[in-house]
Amino acid sequence: MRRIVGIALILTLLTGFIVFAQDTPATTPEPEATVDMTGDTAPAQDDAARLVVPEGFTVSVFASGLMKPRLMTLGEDGSLYVAEQEGGRISHLVDADFNGVAETVMVIAENMPIAHSVEWHDGWLYVSEGNQIERIQDADGDGTFEARELVTDNIPEAVHHMTRTLHFGPDGMLYVSTGSSSNNNPETDPRRAAILRFNPDGTIPADNPYATDADPLRQPIWAEGLRNSIDFLFTPDGQLWANHNGSDDLGDDTPPEEVVINVEMGKHYGWPYCYTPAQGAVPAGTVDVQDERVPFGGPLTSCDQSSPALFTDLAHSAPIGMTWYDGTAFPEQYQNGIFEAYHGSWNSGVPRDCAVQFISVQDGLPVSSEPFMTGFRDSAEQNCADAWGRPAGVTVGANGELFVSDDQNGNIYVVTYTG
């Protein structure tokens, strides 16, 4: 009888402990908290085994368990910094022994809603959020980012297309892309569906095309008519090349996805009135065509005033991150070209793949493309919204490797050439 009572008491205590554990809320790591990724906690490589890369390349999981990682950048020491959109935080990933796995993941800043991109400039790490740009700094080099400043909130509210992306140009200016507030309705706030340009302190540069406009909302605009340029880059000769997610509800094949656009000061790139009709490398002299759902008005009275893309791909490819491969570790055919993360379709009757695409550049123009990293879907019939993985950001590492973030399952992969 005593044995039965004892067993009952133990079960009661265990049950109470389980209930207590379930009712105890999870805690959010404090800034500068470090997660040890060594030993048994190292990321499992099963996901990497599902991915397909060209012969001679190897892909592995660099880090896992991140909260919707998007765009990334490198520090001076070659370590990786990533914006975790769902977590609203920035993490620092360190692979101290260069074995292809981040041993530590350190959260260096939190409470940054819709954090999407990060980039270093003049000792500060700039962060794009839903409706503002902030910058943080570790002035004394102790690993703690004790300084935090607002750079600008001269950015439209995060509605519909909520992410913002920042990069510094060769002119030292801060460029920020902002998506549209709808699928194909003309904007009332001209700062939407645009690329904006600021001084590093958030003020308006005197040489902006609309710096003296009577409407203060137009003053930061560098270029417009870009429904959702989720990322952009600067070529070695200083050109600004952006991607662009086109309008929906025109069918499975229209409009072609504009994956490389040469963005120039003061120009309009069509949305919501016009789009580039060509597929692949866009021939010189191509004229955009009208989206007949949207009557001309505002800045455009004809598609002759719209600037066409340089290169397009299948509709609903949904490009996110893009990077110029300036390394030498990959074979020559991949050098001085573009790696671009296609997020893939979520609403297409003909599903588009979620993959990392390589775009070859010759004589200063994109000329062809081919899949570089695939295998994120279970089948060709699956839309990427339902896939097990979905690439989002791409960044070239200090040794010429390629980092790829996966915002569907929280991984970051690293691709190296071993052939």
Residue 119: which residues within 8 A CB-CB, separation 6 or more?
Answer: 73, 125, 126, 166, 167, 168
Burial of 17 (0-12, 13-18, 19+ CB in 10 A): exposed
Percent of the chain with pLDDT over 90: 85
Q: Between 142 and 235, where is the model more confident?
A: 235
Whether residue 398 is contained in a domain is answered as yes
> Mean per-residue pLDDT for 290-300?
93
Whether residue 323 is contained in a domain is answered as yes
Instruction: Count the domains in the chain.
Output: 1
- Domain limits at 214? 48-417
Rounded CA-CA distance 24/65 in Å is 21
pLDDT in tens, 48-86: 999 999 999 999 999 999 999 999 999 999 999 999 999
Whether residue 20 is contained in a domain is answered as no
CA distances from 342 to 33, 184, 330, 355 (A): 32, 21, 21, 5
Whether residue 135 is contained in a domain is answered as yes
Structure tokens at 152: 């600008």
Whether residue 179 is contained in a domain is answered as yes
Give the domain CATH number at 401.
Answer: 2.120.10.30
pLDDT in tens, 202-245: 999 999 999 999 999 999 999 999 999 999 999 999 999 999 99
Whether residue 402 is contained in a domain is answered as yes
Predicted confidence (pLDDT) at residue 37 exceeds the cutoff of 60? no
Structure tokens at 53: 């890369």
Whether residue 329 is contained in a domain is answered as yes
Rounded to the nearest angstrom, the gap between the alpha carbon of residue 361 and the centroid of all alpha carbons in its chain is 21
Residue 154: which residues within 8 A CB-CB, separation 6 or more?
Answer: 191, 196, 198, 202, 220
